[in-house]
Amino acid sequence: MEKAKNVKTDQLGQHLTDNDQKVLTTNDGVPVYDNNNTLKAGNRGPSLQQDHIYFDKMAHFDRERIPERVVHARGSAAHGLFEATGDLSEYTTAAFLKKGTKTPVFTRFSTVAGFKGSTDLARDVRGFSVKFYTEEGNYDLVGNNIPVFFIQDAMNFPDLVHAVKPEPNNEMPQAASAHNTFWDFISLMPESAHMIMWVMSDRAIPRSLRMMEGFGVHTFKFVNDEGKSTFVKFHWKPRLGVHSVAWNEAQKISGFDADFHRRDLWEAIENGDFPQWDLGVQLIPEEDELKFSFDILDPTKIIPEELVPVKIIGTMTLNQNPENFFAETEQVAFDPGRLVPGIDISDDPLLQGRIFSYMDTQNYRLGGPNFHELPINRPINGKHNNQKDGFGRMDILKGAVSYFPNSKAEGCPYHAMLKGKTTGFQSHRQAIDASKVRARSDSFADHFTQARLFFHSQSPEEQEHIISALSFELSKVDDVNIRRRELAILNQVDKDLAKKVGDNLNLTPPKELDELTLKFARQNHPEYPIKPKKPEVEKSEALSMKITPGEGTIETRKVAFLVDDGVSKTSVDRMKKALEKEGAQAVLIASHVGKLQFKEGGTEDVQHSYLTDSSVLYDAFYTPDGDSVKKLADNPDYIQFINEGFRHCKAIAFAKEAEELIKETLVKEDQGVILESTKDLINDFITAMKGHRVWDREKPRKVPA
């Protein structure tokens, strides 16, 4: 049979192909005229089941990796308990949200882009997914630590992930967005501008999984017993506050301990320092759907807390580590379509697409349709249906009947009814009158107002970190046209931001969007750019992580006690006692592991040394009194600890006899450097730690960001 004329072969006779100058097609060669939008009932309506082009694209994408997850491969998880504390009966029938109800949960945190063996400290979005084992079945709240996303429609999701993953020709770089293909994609997608502000902020390099917020990202629906719906946004608020590391610090942590976040979560739970988050909701009446200057169905937008306050409705406590990583953390399957009565999805086009994608990818990754029979995925109230075969079947369905309706099994399993009234899950009854289209609502066309809101809501220090992050990322892009395109997008967000990044790249930001960017934007909005509506909020305090010095908590923070043989036990114990009273941990670090000799006599076993640990693994530093001071003065590793901790803006305390060591370092006294001779050693040290960082230290000394 004659080969197709457009198919080339290599020396082994295998097919070679490329996409140069080719029309976009399906896998069957059918031309595709719109690769940005799923098929919907109207441009703001729900996505349609008959969208075979989307299903074909997503089914292929979901099967591209074996056996790890395509995205969110690197994860850590824990068991816990959720207790409902608010009264939501007016809004939802969900049983697990009834005040006083306690529900077992399994929560998995993850990075998005890296492979399973990548570092915890990559600059990336963090997955934050919670499986509730409710009395009405499993409910999955599948979210992230950032409340918005890069794209608006699920059709673009495979393209986004392909762009951010290692480049296909050389499999580089790992777990990083600082490369050509990612920024090429982003610079052509103005809708990503808001998400880019978040990812380039310190939110993308959290101090701990225990110290980051979680968000449902999408707008969902609560449905009450009368069938009335209320739009809802979900928020997880950490009891320990929201904190980050510095970028220079994150890079070094990746080298010293790539499992930093995983170890931190595991050890906290093992030590009984159980992480807690309050679950909050923003509730929007159905009649207020179109009330705001932005579209609440747009996943690239937030609802500022100044417009709709967050109502706390419960608390999650993680109190048990997994017994087996593979059986639990690796095999747990999340799906935003795993809903319970009283909660439903909205017409958000990204959420609509995820309903298929997540189920499909778990089906494939876990070897077939029976992954819900794995112990970690089983509902606590059991499952009863007529689906009895397939790969990986573990349950044995008794009897001769596996169909519905039936009479031979007395109609069992039967429809959910209570006293003649239908119960169980029901989709919200929503009127739809629309044409079938591949299009996007013009209410999704404002891509820069909320990006500007986020940037302007940051403290000056946080803004500088965003500028530094963008400069770092774009400097790794070797195509100057991509750099210019992204600078043009930044110029629409904030001219000062664009200029500072441009100065670092030796480029002048273009005033207008690139013609290629406009071409792609107009495929979704023919009249783009569309004049945005006046925003209700121009700054939002909730978007900044900076806290007032002294108002935070130091619970579970690790304080390095920098010591050597001859250290004063009295000096160690008085600081240790005070820190532990505040919930912090004191970790002795010496020139060697094993027995540490005290000045007063006696010893203590030390598990950490200057050769095995680094300053970036600790939150603050204390140097006690004792004969150890002279030894530390001659120890370059000690000097490195102090200098690096100072440059990373951390609190540093010196007992009186140890103050002379400052002369050997780059340390200059400020509000975060506590000398016993001039300040209240213990109380001022704790106050400085509660501020998380001494960010004022960055400016005059050019501290790495």
Residues belonging to the chain? 705
Query: Helix or strand or coil: residue 656?
Result: helix
Q: In this structure, are 209 and 289 located in the same domain?
A: yes
pLDDT tens profile 5-49: 444 544 444 455 677 777 877 777 778 888 889 999 999 999 998
Asked whether residue 169 is domain-assigned, the answer is: yes
Q: In this structure, are 523 and 606 located in the same domain?
A: no
Amino acid at 120: D
Q: What are phi and psi of 189, to 5 degrees?
A: -125, 85
Q: In this structure, are 355 and 254 located in the same domain?
A: yes
Closest Cα to residue 454, out of 576, 332, 262, 294? 294
> Could you say which residues of the chain have pLDDT below 50?
1-7, 9-14, 705
Helix axes 480-493, 495-505, angle to 10 degrees: 160
Beta-carbon contacts of 371 under 8 Å, excluding residues fewer than 6 positions away, are 331, 333, 362, 363, 377, 392
Closest Cα to residue 572, out of 584, 581, 560, 558? 560
Asked whether residue 421 is domain-assigned, the answer is: no
Rounded Cα distance between 204 and 125, Å, is: 6
Rounded Cα distance between 492 and 447, Å, is: 9
Asked whether residue 34 is domain-assigned, the answer is: no
Domain stops at, among 498, 519, 543: 543
β-partners of residue 126 are: 111
In sequence order, what DSSP letters do the residues of 181-205 get, joined into one string? HHHHHHHT-GGGHHHHHHHTSGGGS
In sequence order, what DSSP letters do the residues of 536-578 get, joined into one string? S-S--GGG-----TTSS--TT-EEEEE--TTB-HHHHHHHHHH
Q: In this structure, are 342 and 267 located in the same domain?
A: yes
Domain stops at, among 323, 358, 377: 377
pTM (predicted TM-score): 0.92
Query: Helix or strand or coil: residue 468?
Result: helix
- Return the pLDDT at 2: 42
Residue with tokens 């001859």: 566
Rounded Cα distance between 184 and 656, Å, is: 56
User: Residue 678 corresponds to which tokens in the numbers above?
Assistant: 């001039």
Q: In this structure, are 538 and 562 located in the same domain?
A: no
For the chain, what is the largest distance between any 2 Cα atoms, rounded to a whole number of angstroms? Answer: 92
User: Residue 188 corresponds to which tokens in the numbers above?
Assistant: 């052509």
In sequence order, what DSSP letters do the residues of 354-372 get, joined into one string? HHHHHHHHHHHHTTSTTGG
Closest Cα to residue 479, out of 272, 678, 183? 183
Sign of the CA dihedral with 64 first, then 66, 67, and 71 last: negative
Closest Cα to residue 192, out of 136, 229, 155, 149? 149
Q: How far is CA 275 from CA 142, 217, 265, in A?
A: 19, 22, 8
Query: Around Cβ 657, how many Cβ atoms within 10 Å?
Result: 18
Sign of the CA dihedral with 26 first, then 31, 36, and 37 last: negative
**HSE-up of 628 (CA within 13 Å, CB side)?**
30
Q: Residue 519: which CATH number?
A: 1.20.1370.20
Instruction: Decide if 72 is catalytic.
Output: yes
Q: In this structure, are 578 and 530 located in the same domain?
A: no
Q: Out of 144, 145, 321, 363, pick the active-site residue.
A: 144
Count of domains observed in the chain? 3
Closest Cα to residue 376, out of 692, 693, 23, 78? 78
- Return the pLDDT at 700: 65
Q: In this structure, are 82 and 227 located in the same domain?
A: yes
Q: What are phi and psi of 221, to 5 degrees?
A: -130, 135
pLDDT tens profile 198-222: 999 999 999 999 999 999 999 999 9
Instruction: Decide if 144 is catalytic.
Output: yes
Type and span of the H or E element at 504: helix 495-505
Closest Cα to residue 221, out of 43, 94, 47? 94
Q: How far is CA 280 from CA 87, 213, 386, in A?
A: 12, 11, 38
Q: How far is CA 78 from CA 75, 282, 321, 381, 647, in A?
A: 11, 26, 5, 21, 34
Q: In this structure, are 117 and 195 located in the same domain?
A: yes
Measured torsion, CA atoms of residues 356, 360, 362, 364, in degrees rounded to the nearest 10: -170
Residue range(s) defining the domain that contains residue 313: 39-377
Rounded Cα distance between 237 and 304, Å, is: 15
Domain stops at, among 323, 348, 377: 377
- Return the pLDDT at 705: 44
Q: How far is CA 309 from CA 99, 233, 348, 670, in A?
A: 20, 11, 21, 37
Residue with tokens 């619970």: 555
β-partners of residue 653 are: 622, 674
Asked whether residue 373 is domain-assigned, the answer is: yes
Q: In this structure, are 453 and 359 located in the same domain?
A: no
Q: Which long-range contacts (CB under 8 A, 24 or more apart) does 390-399 make?
A: 391/367, 392/366, 392/367, 392/368, 394/370
Q: In this structure, are 603 and 536 located in the same domain?
A: no
Rg (CA), the chain: 28
Asked whether residue 432 is domain-assigned, the answer is: no
**HSE-up of 21 (CA within 13 Å, CB side)?**
1
Beta-carbon contacts of 541 under 8 Å, excluding residues fewer than 6 positions away, are 457
Q: Residue 640: which CATH number?
A: 3.40.50.880
Q: Residue 226: which CATH number?
A: 2.40.180.10
Asked whether residue 418 is domain-assigned, the answer is: no
Residue with tokens 């690796």: 330
- Return the pLDDT at 27: 76
- Return the pLDDT at 702: 55
Asked whether residue 72 is domain-assigned, the answer is: yes
Query: Helix or strand or coil: residue 609?
Result: strand
86, 313 contact by CB (below 8 A): yes
Backbone angle region of 399, left / alpha / beta, with phi > 0 → left and psi within -120 to 50 → alpha: left
Q: Out of 36, 37, 72, 235, pick the active-site residue.
A: 72
Q: In this structure, are 519 and 564 located in the same domain?
A: no
490, 496 contact by CB (below 8 A): no
Q: In this structure, are 475 and 602 located in the same domain?
A: no
Rounded Cα distance between 679 and 692, Å, is: 19
Asked whether residue 537 is domain-assigned, the answer is: yes
Rounded Cα distance between 443 and 296, Å, is: 9
Report CA 286 to chain centroid distance, whole Å. 28
